């Protein structure tokens, strides 16, 4: 009599960071998205100025203090996001919960702050070229931050589920890379749209 016993299947060939590479491709697309937005912004500003028009509102009318706090909150979230990666790589689950939670709170603070700043602008999109560009670019950036937050929410649930550990942190690294991209894009947007246009130094 011959008995045939099946052993477990051998492992598939190791994939080369599928999630991370996919995220990097999305980030590359995101970089050109913001490159396109800011190039269009400066192109429109040049055209307006050369035509003798005024571009941004006069100095002092932008809510500079609120804008600085809002974008600072976003900037800080980069550190807490990285803290989450470090905690998971060190198998420190409790620290990871805190880091993910604080990062999400800072993201929510940014959304809240930006909506407050929009309310303080008193500019009408469509009627004013500067306003159209500012609302369009900052809204696109807001979408990116919301997407990053959704990734972190998924990551948070999976951390609670115990799915990640030091040797299985690709999703965490990918989500964090996207978060960093959202922060860097935010800094670029703040610098170009707010600081150069009517910030404290102008």
Query: Judged by CB under 8 A, which of 52, 58, 127, 162 binds other proteins?
Result: 127
Site track for other proteins across 30-59, x = CB under 8 A: x-xxxxxx-xx--x----------------
The residue among 96, 106, 114 whose CA lies nearest residue 161 is 96
Please answer whether residues 186 and 71 qualify as being in contact, where contact means their C-beta atoms are separated by less than 8 angstroms: yes
Q: Work out whether 154 is an interface residue with other proteins (CB under 8 A).
A: no
Please answer whether residues 156 and 101 qualify as being in contact, where contact means their C-beta atoms are separated by less than 8 angstroms: yes
Structure token digits, residue 128: 């004013």
Instruction: Report how far residue 57's alpha carbon sits from residue 171's, in angstroms, rounded to the nearest whole number.
Output: 43
Q: In the chain, what's the furthest Cα-to-Cα distance?
A: 96
Q: Work out whether 188 is an interface residue with other proteins (CB under 8 A).
A: no
CA dihedral 159, 163, 169, 171 (to 10 degrees): -80
- The least distance separating other proteins from the CB of residue 29, rounded to whole angstroms, comes to 5
Nearer to other proteins, 20 or 187 (CB): 20
- The least distance separating other proteins from the CB of residue 129, rounded to whole angstroms, comes to 8
Does an H or E element contain 137, and which?
Answer: helix 129-160
Instruction: Report how far residue 27's alpha carbon sits from residue 139's, in angstroms, rounded to the nearest whole number.
Output: 18
Q: Work out whether 2 is an interface residue with other proteins (CB under 8 A).
A: yes
Query: Judged by CB under 8 A, which of 135, 171, 181, 190 binds other proteins?
Result: 135
Nearer to other proteins, 32 or 61 (CB): 32
DSSP structural state of residue 7:
P
Instruction: Report how far residue 156's alpha carbon sits from residue 27's, in angstroms, rounded to the nearest whole number.
Output: 21
Structure token digits, residue 183: 């922060």
- The least distance separating other proteins from the CB of residue 13, rounded to whole angstroms, comes to 5
Q: Work out whether 125 is an interface residue with other proteins (CB under 8 A).
A: yes
Site track for other proteins across 78-117, x = CB under 8 A: ----------------------------------------
Of the CA atoms within 13 Å of residue 167, those in its CB half-sphere come to: 0
Q: Work out whether 16 is an interface residue with other proteins (CB under 8 A).
A: yes
Site of interaction with other proteins (CB under 8 A): 1-13, 15-18, 21-22, 25-26, 28-30, 32-37, 39-40, 43, 124-127, 132-133, 135-137, 139-140
């Amino acid at each position: 009599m011959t008995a045939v016993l099946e052993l477990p299947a051998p492992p598939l060939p190791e994939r080369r960071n599928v999630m991370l590479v996919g995220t990097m491709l999305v980030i590359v697309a995101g970089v050109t998205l913001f490159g396109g937005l800011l190039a269009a912004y400066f192109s429109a500003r040049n055209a307006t100025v050369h035509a003798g028009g005024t571009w941004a509102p006069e100095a002092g009318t932008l809510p500079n203090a609120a804008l600085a706090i809002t974008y600072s909150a976003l900037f800080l979230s980069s550190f807490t996001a990285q803290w989450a990666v470090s905690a998971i790589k060190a198998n420190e689950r409790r620290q990871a919960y805190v880091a993910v939670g604080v990062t999400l709170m800072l993201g929510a603070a940014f959304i809240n702050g930006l909506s407050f700043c929009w309310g303080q602008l008193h500019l009408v999109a469509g009627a004013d070229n500067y306003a159209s560009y500012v609302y369009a670019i900052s809204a696109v950036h807001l979408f990116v931050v919301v997407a990053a937050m959704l990734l972190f929410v998924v990551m948070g649930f999976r951390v609670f589920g115990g799915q990640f550990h030091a040797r299985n942190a690709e999703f965490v690294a990918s989500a964090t890379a996207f978060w960093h991209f959202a922060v860097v894009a935010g800094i670029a947007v703040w610098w170009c749209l707010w600081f150069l246009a009517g910030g404290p130094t102008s």
